[in-house]
Amino acid sequence: MRMKGNFAPSFHPPMRQEFEHYGRFIYPEIQKFKNVPGQYSVNSLVSSQSPFSLKQMMLFSMGLSLNEIHGQHDAAECISALLRITTEFSFLWHLQDKILKCENCHLSETKTEPETVAIVPVSNFINRGKIDARGAILNFFSSSETVERHCTNCFTDRSTKKTELPTPSKFIIVQLLRFTMAQNQRAQKINNEVRPFSSLEIETSAHGSCTYEIVATVEHIGRSPTGGHYVAYIKHHNGWLKCNDKELSYPNDNDPIRNAYLVVLQTNEVDDE
C-alpha cells in the first residue's frame, strides 16, 4: 500500500485561537533553530516586538501564567500545546477512531477525533524488568476495554471501548505513560527501560496495516514529573543525533528508545507531494 498525499492532514485540527498569536512568533524561531543547530538559545528573545523568549512563549501557550513558567513542565503537554497553536505543524496530528459498543444490544457509535499525542499506558506491559513499548502501542490501537456508559437504545450501562487508527498519518507522536498516580495521590515514575525496537506495523481500519519507524524520541531524566531534565534524539542519516539543550552529539550506544518518554513514529507509506 502506498498513498499519495501531502504532509498536511485531510482534516482541520482544532486550534486554540486565543493563543495562535504565540504560534506566529514561535514557528519562525523554530526555523532558526533548525538552520543553526546548537547555536540557538530558547531563552533568547524571539524578536524586538516581544519581551519574551521562545521557551516562555511555548509555556504561555499551555495557559501558564508568568509566575508558573519557571518550573518544570511536562514535555508531552508542551508539544500538544505547541501543535494546537501553530498551524504549520498540523502534519504532526493524527486521527483516532473512538468506538463505543453496547455489550447488550451491540449498538455502536464511532467518533473520529484529531489528536496531537497518543497517550499509551505501559504499566501492564513490563516483562522481565523492561517495558514492552511496542506491544503497548499495538495494544492501544487494537484492544478493547469495558466501560460504564448508558445506552440510549436498551438503557443498560456497560459498553466496550476501542481506539483505532482509521487511516495512516505521516507521523504519530506517542507518549509512553511513565507517570502514574500512587495511593498517596502523588505521581510516581515508571523508570524501567524500554525493550529495544525500531519499527512496528499498526493496523488501520480503512487501509490495512502500515509500517512505522521511530524517527525521534524524548527522554525524561529524573524521578518526578515536577523535576528533572529532557533530552531529545533525532534520527540523522544512519545514526542518532542527541540534543541536550544546546549541546549536540552522536551517542556511542545509539539506543534512543531505552529511556523514551515520547516516541515519534513516521511512515514512508504516505508519500509527500
Judge whether residue 31 has pLDDT over 50.
yes
Distance of CA 63 to the CA centre of its chain: 19
* Banded pLDDT at 41 (limits 50, 70, 90): low
Nearest CA-CA partner of 135 in 215, 61, 196: 196
203-255 pLDDT, tens digit each: 998 888 999 999 999 999 987 766 788 999 999 888 899 988 778 888 887 68
Mean pLDDT, range 123-135, rounded to an integer: 95
Q: Which residues of 73-91 are buried (b: 16+ CB within 10 A; e: fewer)?
A: bbbbbbbbbbbbbbeebbb
How large is the greatest C-alpha to C-alpha distance in the chain, in angstroms? 63
> For residues 210 and 202, is the Cβ–Cβ distance under 8 A?
yes
Q: What global pTM score does this model have?
A: 0.86
